[in-house]
Chain A
Amino acid sequence: MIRYVLGRLTSLIVSLIVASIVIFAVIEVIPGDPAAFMLGVNARPDTIAALRAEMGLDQPLITRYLAWVTGLLQGDFGQSWTYKTPVADLINDRIWVSLPLAVYALILSTLIAFPAGIYAASRRGDAGDVTIMGATQLGVAIPNFWFAMILVLIFAINLRWFSAGGFPGWGDPLQAIKALTLPAIALALPQAAILARVMRSSLLDMLGEDFIRTARAKGLSRRQALWRHAVRNALIPVLTIIGLQFSFLLAGGIIIEQVFFLPGLGRLIFQSISARDLIVVESVVMLLVFTVIVVNFLVDLAYAAVDPRLRTKA
């Protein structure tokens, strides 16, 4: 196990280093001068020169990369050009929208997918299974931002149960959760469709295993065998998918935030892109990539803890 953890840890660190280089490089390869890019076409040369110095662009590439990474490690994400505040503060304001949204969506997705997948597997081939599988086909094919618009049309504009967008802040937690409900449903449903399919097929694999036959031979009913033995074992592959989904939900949130005008990291990225505030874009993207890579790492560890066979395979 220790060897496995060390191996994973090494690849985690390598991934993070490569990720930071890639992101830094993408920002660097912008044709022309980032300072000129940020200031737009009408900037005076002396303004550009001043910004270049302020951004440290007169330093060599390696120095700048190292300064950026050391800053990140110390929680210093640099200074936003447009907001004139530390990027860390901007992120801190918005992460409390994006993160709860992703977690909320993950919970919803799991709550929908588990019963649906288990039900479909236990009724394999009958009308209930066919209906659920048909619904998951639709769920996989729906663009989530379109689904979000439909939700707004029905529940905000016609029924007036929810507001069509915006976020009241966490002062009143109930209102905050309410504001995140439609976005979370829009994010969760397509992911729930995938998860339900994985749950079903994993469960069907398990139901064909010898230990289920043994359990049945021992006198357990189909239902008892399913719940006591199959579901637990089927959860292992499902766990990985849930881990992967977290990254989809976090990234997918970027678009859903646009639909609902939520002041999260996604909107921060877009506002920074249109304001050409590259330092913010760079740091927020790095933060998202960092979160995703670390979550995947944790899932790998959890996976190995549950299923010892994997420790040797990797």
Chain B
Amino acid sequence: MPFLHERLPNGLDVIAETSESAVSTSVGFFVMTGSRDESDALWGTSHFLEHMVFKGTPEIPGDAINRRFDDMGASVNAFTSEEDTVYYASVLPEQQHEAVDLVARMMRPALRDEDFETEKLVILEEIRMYDDQPPFGADELCRAAFFGGHPLGRSVLGTADSIRGLPVAAMRDYHRRRYAPGTMVLAASGAVDFPALVESAKRLCGAWEPVTAPERLVSVSPRAAARPGRERIVRPAAALDYAVWMVAGPDEHDPDRHAARLLSVVLGDSSGSRLYWGLVDSGEAEQAACIHQDFLDAGVFITQLSCDAADVDELTERIAGIYATAASGGIPPAEFERAQNKLASRVVLGGEKPRRRLFEVGLDWSHCRTYRSVGDNLRIVEQITLDDVHRVLKTWPLDAPAAAVVAGPGSGS
């Protein structure tokens, strides 16, 4: 799968991983902005702006954007995280030109007053929707408790108050500063006509003015929870308790992040892991999982537990015991190899889907200006050693004092 790259004079990077056998083309813009780039006054702006991008440009009304994507038969969407805003469309190869044309034009949205007020109502509904469903805000409160004043402590959606209070002028200014060619990547994967992609980029994005983007608020990696201890969200009608806790782990520049991921598979994968056999297989927990998440300047191990409220203390203790056993006794080679095989299989199977590759290739380039093929990713997994995993266990203790939140009916302590 050849990788191709060209940088426009204004700084916009155009990249593609091409595949002769693919029957589809995926294209996307990766914008280096997310909730960590917001101030209190702008809380929720990145995600709200992602919605507004679909409401049209000065020339194209929002409903025409939706119609044009459907005319192409495109599968189109977007997401916003703490660090990225990503817009993507998957189309048949003959629609590449049209898809790139539309997505590129959308990056310069109209941000009309009346659309802003209507879409505000949709965002408020999205906030209510998540607030009504598990884990009932426990994940976001836990993030705030772990990161404290660090920019990653901010939730992506914002709050009902921050969204209601946001003026459209602030969003326009945010867009001007953050959607600059030097902080965006146009990426494509699958059956890509790269010369045509570059041509489209020059025509549509070549006149975008370079803006000196504000520095990202990068801090020192937190090695400990800012607010250790357990907080509670009471939802009297909830059937289960939902517990989330976080401790520090390697960040995205730390070579040990790969071993951290493998460790999370050993300990807390959705099947066949120590938490699975210890809590889920027995039917004591609805879910018990451990995942590793990495950011530019921080990493976390997140443990998620859902169970009967009466059992949450006992099962939390049991998970602590499982982590302590791993730290003291290590991981047997057979268990390590099984997790390694699972990860390798995920790399190969995921590598078959152009959409999935678009995200991997686009985010790698956006964050690190690095390209890694499926083969590279497979080698990374194969080169993880048991020593690496044991070093992660020692360097980033999972039984460190955590920031924890339990949401549920309130019968637990």
- The answer to whether A binds B is no
